């Protein structure tokens, strides 16, 4: 058997023995460059990958490396004058080139590199000067240290130092600069590099004189302070405040025979004057000067290093690298991830547009970070551990928010402890212009909702509850909930099932001579008691069984109801204001309307000026007791058509303005401001259109007096005296139904609001929310106000109006969603304004109802955005070749996707039919049945398919299984346990090995020839 003795020495200061052994093993492996078979599996690793694992896996308590701005400057002759450094490209995330005309920047595009330039860059790093953590504060110091280092190691001749320094300290001309006016003396200068001055040494003086000339000339072009153009550059808005610069300088000169290469990382980022286009401190400097004739090659190498510096993984490696080998390992990792395009199938002159969504670099980093898992690099986003962006999702893993503590009010106590530290920030976090937009938008939606449900309640209960009760109840419950609840982003409102229950309860009370409000009071008290029992027993942990299937079914149904009701109200409006379909221009002379006196009235009326009945207008005719006669008397022109124009116009304008931030017009700040106030602007625009046209469209009607709608009731409902005593106990039965209704409506909406896609940082409060809903049930029952629970569509609209995005994004990069502005102020102010709406009737009466119906339509449609169920419905009508690249389409057969969609659509249709009948009172029970349907789908679909289409329902014994698996892993006594000691071993990349080693090594060519015991002895 072939063996070889290798003597290695490694440092293991302060390291565990097993860690040192692992380092020794890697060193042996690196020397042999071979694979070795372990007893249970093949251990494949590359030295570069392992080095990156240690670099990125190091624990660092400091902040993450800052964003880099990379600028490529090339040594060129500008306007026929002396050689200067001319900015030709820049990077933050994507590449921007200076167009050939030299007057504008190109659109941001994906940098396309030649593979050859990457290999040349690797050679430059291998052979060039590497100075890490260099201590210098000015560019001349940096340049002098670079040249001294190259002279010391023999890469640069001492007599060339001044020429190199002169070249590197030449003036930098950025794209933002205009052509400078030159003096007559400047115009007389020749177009030459520094070497031409040296070639004329004999005529001009001694070398010392020339050195002084070079130094003075170069330093005169250089300043340590940023110039005016830098300070006024608007490109700074694209950079975060802590951004640093990476400068790449490449060019050809005629005094060098071999390339001059240096990669520098400064110990502290410093301002190097006008070196960079924007006034940010420089951290990295890459210099490449070479002989003439290879300018394009130098340019491509410069683009290669600039692109690497904009890569997030190499960016981190560059900041943490300890030596040259770390940088080379970073280049190797980049090459491992590079995708090669065939030259005959792609035009390199085509600029690739930046994608709308970028893959997260965390998946690449997790291959090397401590505790990172996975199965190695995945192609095109095919990662085993998918998130729920397009596939599974929901509320993710069960945290303490949904944990059954087993203690009395344990969940409620945890909710209070979790939310109390954020109570102060819930107020000052609202200080932003976006909050004003959200307040106005949600206020108008809430007012419209209160008026609508108040009117329907008045019809259902003979005005025992009406519009004013709806306004007061909305204001009281909403303000208290947003002020004290666990999730203040949730908006409370009356719902359809509550309205159906109120109608049935009123009719039942009327038929049995019960006092409706007293009977309702006891139902509310029992229901509040049941809800408090659910809070005390941590029953909200059942929310974890509300998967995407249930959430999307419920939210889609509510959205469809909003859309349906918006059109239904418009058709009802058209019924009361019909279009004159019988109009005929030929009979226009017959259309007449006259004011005629009633038989007991005289021909003349007493006015300041005597007038006949025929001269009176419509209002005067009715005022003085006349009668309107004629075919044109009942015709109101254009009301329906104008109403539909306002309705559809408001919806279309809201949608367009909301998407305006993605357009190409106006600066980013203006686009974002218009997008934030989209709905308010749409309402103002079409209120103005309505006032300008002057058609008598129906307007918003708000109560003007603060008193109960019915004179037969007051603001307090007495609990006794109106009904028999047994009714107080019997009320517990319908209260059970109300409890299910409240629990399901409240918690499903809370789950939707708290979805991980919203990136909420202050946590949820399911138990605390239900607690306050129960308390408010008691308050509303005693005051005779409607009952309120979380409203799905308005809550989603509230979330959407408060979404935050990055203030500065790289050119070509879509703004990143940061989360939601979590605070209590917007909700509280919305409901306070709702209560004050009684006093704002003179202003609100100018808002046309069709405009508010258009807002209803927008809210219904907007809440369907991003719902996976809607995406899958569209797939039913798409040929496979036109379907979008969704993650679940890659992993789940299409017929299984369609089957899942069909079942979900069937359940939604049944719910729609149910809510449209008298049986709507059991609507919440049927929502609960969706959970059972989803549970049954475990027998139809595999867990793999459900993990992409839905959420996997948590199992009671899941934690137990994981614990057993962990114990088994710890019991292993093989080398696996020794290697698994290191957190970096979770995802070891493989390396390439030459086939000749496989043939020459018996141990590798034939595993059977070497026993495990013999291998262990050798290892």
Other beta carbons within 10 angstroms of residue 904's beta carbon come to 26
For the stretch 851-879, pLDDT in tens is: 888 887 887 888 788 788 888 888 888 88
What mean pLDDT is reported for the chain?
A: 75
Does position 263 have pLDDT exceeding 90, yes or no? Answer: yes
- Residue 806, pLDDT score: 76
Question: Each residue of 273-282: pLDDT tens digit?
Answer: 888 888 889 9
In a domain, 842, yes or no: yes
Whether residue 422 sits in one domain with residue 280? no
Q: Does residue 814 lie in a domain region?
A: yes
Location of structure tokens 């307090």? 716
pLDDT grade, residue 788 (50/70/90)? Answer: confident
Share of the chain above pLDDT 70, in %: 73
Q: Are 290 and 431 members of one domain?
A: no
Domain boundary among 848, 869, 890: 869
Overall number of domains in the chain? 2
Tell me if 543 is assigned to some domain.
Answer: yes
Among 853, 869, 885, identify where a domain stops. Answer: 869
How far CA 637 is from CA of 46, 581, 617, 632, 701, in Å, comes to 81, 11, 17, 10, 22
Alpha carbon separation from 434 to 162, 429, 589, 804, 806 (Å, rounded): 57, 11, 57, 9, 14
Q: 760 with 849, same domain?
A: yes
Residue 1012 pLDDT > 60: no
Residues near 669 by Cβ (< 8 Å), separated by ≥ 6? Answer: none
Q: Helices in 191-247 by DSSP H: which ranges?
A: 194-199, 201-204, 207-220, 228-231
CA distance 933 to 925: 13
pLDDT of res. 207 = 40
pLDDT in tens, 491-515: 888 876 777 778 778 888 887 888 8
Distance CA 789, CA 773 (A): 7
Name, of 342-346, 421-425, 672-676, the range with top average pLDDT. 421-425
Q: Is 310 in the same domain as 423? A: no
The answer to whether residue 831 scores a pLDDT higher than 70 is yes
Q: Where are the beta strands (DSSP E) in 488-542?
A: 492-493
Task: Read off the pLDDT of each residue in 341-349 and give the average, rounded to a whole number.
Answer: 81
Q: Choose one of 323, 338, 353: the last residue of a domain.
A: 338
The structure's pTM equals 0.66
How far is Cα of residue 624 from the mean position of the Cα atoms in its chain? Answer: 65
Q: Which of 26-35, 94-103, 289-298 is predicted most confidently?
A: 289-298
Shared-domain flag, residues 107 and 232: yes
- The answer to whether residue 261 scores a pLDDT higher than 70 is yes
Domain boundaries, position 154: 69-178+190-338
Same domain? For 429 and 297 the reply is no
Same-domain check for residues 543 and 416: yes
Whether 326 and 404 share a structural domain:
no
- On whether residue 652 sits in a domain, the answer given is no
* Helices 295-310 and 312-320, axial angle in degrees (round to 10): 90
The 10s digit of each residue's pLDDT in 940-977 is 888 888 888 877 666 554 445 555 555 555 554 444 43
Same domain flag for 406 and 303:
no
Domain-located, residue 914? no
424/333 same-domain check: no
Statement to judge: residues 418 and 518 lie in one domain: yes
Quote the pLDDT of residue 582.
65
Burial of 721 (0-12, 13-18, 19+ CB in 10 A): exposed
Answer for the pair 361, 65: CB distance below 8 angstroms, yes or no. no
Residue, of 178 and 81, whose pLDDT is higher: 81
The reply to whether 445 falls in a domain is yes
88-110 mean pLDDT: 85
Please tell me the predicted confidence (pLDDT) of residue 955.
58
- Cβ–Cβ < 8 Å for 673, 705: no
State the average pLDDT over residues 333-345. 84
> Is residue 297 assigned to a domain?
yes
> In this structure, are 464 and 333 located in the same domain?
no
Higher-confidence position of 111 and 176: 111
Distance (Å) of CA 459 to CA 309, 453, 499, 818, 854: 68, 10, 11, 45, 24
In a domain, 925, yes or no: no
The two structure tokens encoding residue 483: 């002020």
Asked whether residue 240 carries a pLDDT value surpassing 70, the answer given is yes
| Placement of tokens 């300890």 in the chain | 322
- Judged against a pLDDT cut of 80, whether residue 120 lies above it is answered with yes
CATH number of the domain that 142 lies in?
3.40.930.10
Cβ atoms 593, 632 nearer than 8 A: yes
Distance (Å, rounded) from C-alpha 417 to C-alpha 890? 43
User: Per residue in 547-604, pLDDT tens?
Assistant: 788 778 877 887 888 788 888 888 888 877 777 666 666 666 666 777 877 766 544 4
In contact, 544 and 783? CB cutoff 8 Å: no
């Amino acid at each position: 058997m072939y063996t070889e003795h290798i003597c290695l020495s490694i440092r293991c200061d302060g390291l565990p023995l097993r860690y040192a052994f692992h380092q020794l093993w890697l060193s042996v492996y690196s020397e042999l460059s071979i694979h070795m078979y372990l007893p249970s599996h093949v251990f494949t690793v590359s030295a570069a990958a392992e080095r990156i694992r240690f670099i990125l896996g190091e624990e660092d308590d400091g902040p993450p490396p800052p964003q880099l701005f990379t600028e490529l400057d090339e040594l060129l002759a500008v306007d026929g004058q002396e050689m200067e450094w001319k900015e030709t490209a820049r990077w933050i995330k994507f590449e921007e080139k200076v167009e050939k005309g030299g007057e504008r920047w190109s659109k941001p595009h994906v940098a396309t590199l030649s593979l050859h330039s990457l290999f040349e860059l690797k050679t430059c790093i291998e052979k060039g000067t590497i100075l890490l953590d260099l201590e210098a504060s000015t560019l001349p110091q940096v340049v002098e240290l670079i040249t001294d280092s190259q002279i010391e190691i023999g890469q640069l001749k001492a007599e060339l130092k001044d020429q190199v320094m002169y070249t590197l300290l030449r003036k930098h001309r950025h794209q933002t600069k205009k052509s400078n006016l030159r003096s007559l003396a400047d115009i007389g200068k020749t177009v030459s590099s520094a070497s031409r001055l040296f070639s004329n040494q004999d005529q001009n003086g001694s070398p010392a004189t020339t050195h002084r000339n070079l130094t003075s000339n170069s330093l005169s072009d250089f300043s340590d302070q940023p110039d005016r153009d830098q300070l006024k550059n608007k490109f700074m808005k694209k950079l975060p405040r802590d951004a640093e610069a990476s400068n790449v300088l490449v060019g050809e000169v005629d005094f060098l025979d071999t390339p001059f290469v240096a990669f520098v990382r400064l110990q502290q980022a410093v301002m190097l004057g006008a070196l960079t286009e924007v006034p940010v401190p420089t951290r990295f400097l890459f210099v490449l000067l070479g002989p003439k004739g290879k300018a394009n090659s130098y340019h491509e190498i410069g683009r290669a290093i600039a692109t690497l510096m904009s890569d997030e993984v190499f960016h981190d490696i560059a900041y943490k690298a300890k030596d040259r080998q770390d940088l080379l390992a970073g280049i190797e990792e980049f090459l491992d991830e590079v995708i090669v395009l065939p030259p005959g199938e792609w035009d390199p002159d085509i600029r690739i547009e930046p994608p709308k969504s970028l893959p997260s670099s965390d998946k690449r980093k997790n291959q090397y970070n401590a505790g990172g898992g996975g199965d190695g690099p995945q192609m095109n986003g095919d990662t085993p551990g998918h998130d729920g962006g397009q596939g599974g999702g929901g509320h993710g893993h069960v945290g303490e928010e949904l944990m059954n503590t087993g203690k009395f009010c344990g969940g409620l106590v945890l909710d209070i402890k979790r939310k109390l530290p954020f109570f102060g920030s819930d107020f000052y976090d609202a200080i932003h212009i976006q909050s004003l937009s959200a307040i106005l938008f949600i206020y108008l939606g809430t007012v419209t909702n209160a008026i609508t449900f108040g009117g329907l309640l008045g019809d259902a209960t003979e005005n025992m509850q009406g519009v004013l009760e709806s306004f007061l109840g909305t204001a009281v419950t909403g303000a208290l909930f947003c002020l004290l609840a666990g999730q203040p982003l949730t908006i409370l409102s009356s719902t359809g099932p509550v309205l159906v229950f109120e109608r049935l309860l009123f009719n039942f009370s009327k038929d049995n001579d019960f006092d409706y409000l007293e009977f309702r009071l006891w139902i509310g008290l029992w229901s509040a008691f049941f809800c408090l029992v659910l809070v005390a027993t941590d029953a909200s942990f059942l929310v974890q069984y509300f998967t995407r299937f249930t959430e999307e079914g419920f939210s889609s149904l509510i959205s469809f109801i909003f859309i349906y009701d918006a059109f239904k109200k418009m058709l009802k409006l058209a019924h009361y204001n019909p279009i004159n379909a019988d109009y005929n221009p030929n009979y226009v002379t017959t259309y007449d309307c006259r004011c005629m006196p009633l038989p007991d009235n005289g021909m003349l009326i007493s006015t300041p000026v005597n007038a006949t009945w025929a001269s009176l207008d419509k209002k005067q005719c009715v005022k003085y007791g006349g009668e309107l006669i004629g075919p044109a008397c009942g015709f109101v022109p254009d009301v329906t058509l104008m109403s539909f124009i306002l309705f559809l116009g408001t919806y279309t304008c809201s949608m367009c303005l909301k998407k305006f931030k993605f357009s190409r017009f106006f600066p980013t700040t203006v686009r974002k401001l218009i997008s934030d106030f989209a709905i308010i602007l749409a309402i103002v625009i079409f209120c103005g259109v309505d006032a300008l046209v002057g058609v008598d469209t129906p307007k918003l009607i708000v109560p003007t007096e603060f008193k109960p709608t019915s004179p037969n009731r007051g603001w307090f409902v007495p609990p006794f005296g109106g009904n028999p005593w047994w009714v107080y106990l019997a009320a517990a039965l319908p209260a059970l139904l109300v409890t299910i209704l409240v629990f399901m409506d409240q918690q499903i909406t809370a789950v939707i609001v708290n979805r991980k896609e919203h990136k909420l940082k202050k946590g949820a409060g399911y138990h605390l929310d239900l607690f306050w809903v129960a308390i408010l049930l008691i308050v509303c029952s005693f005051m005779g106000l409607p009952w309120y629970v979380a409203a799905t569509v308005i809550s989603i609209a509230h979330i959407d109006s408060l979404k935050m995005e990055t203030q500065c994004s790289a050119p070509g990069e879509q703004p990143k969603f940061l989360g939601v502005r979590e605070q209590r102020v917007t909700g509280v102010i919305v409901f306070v304004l709702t209560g004050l709406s009684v006093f704002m009737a003179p202003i609100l009466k100018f808002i046309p109802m069709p405009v508010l119906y258009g807002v209803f339509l927008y809210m219904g449609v907007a809440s369907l955005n991003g719902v996976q169920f809607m995406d899958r419905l569209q797939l039913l009508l798409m040929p496979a070749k036109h379907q979008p690249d969704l993650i679940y389409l890659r992993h789940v057969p299409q017929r299984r996707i369609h089957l899942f969609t069909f079942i979900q659509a069937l359940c939604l249709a049944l719910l729609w039919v149910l809510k449209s009948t008298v049986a709507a009172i059991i609507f919440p029970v049927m929502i609960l049945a969706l959970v059972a349907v989803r549970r049954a789908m475990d027998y139809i679909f595999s867990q793999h398919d459900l993990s992409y289409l839905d959420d996997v329902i948590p199992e009671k014994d899941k934690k137990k299984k994981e614990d057993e698996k962990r114990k088994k892993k710890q019991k292993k006594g093989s080398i696996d346990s020794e290697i698994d000691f290191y957190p970096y071993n979770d995802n070891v990349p493989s390396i390439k090995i030459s086939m000749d080693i496989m043939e020459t090594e018996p141990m590798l060519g034939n595993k059977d020839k070497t026993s495990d015991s013999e291998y262990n002895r050798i290892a």
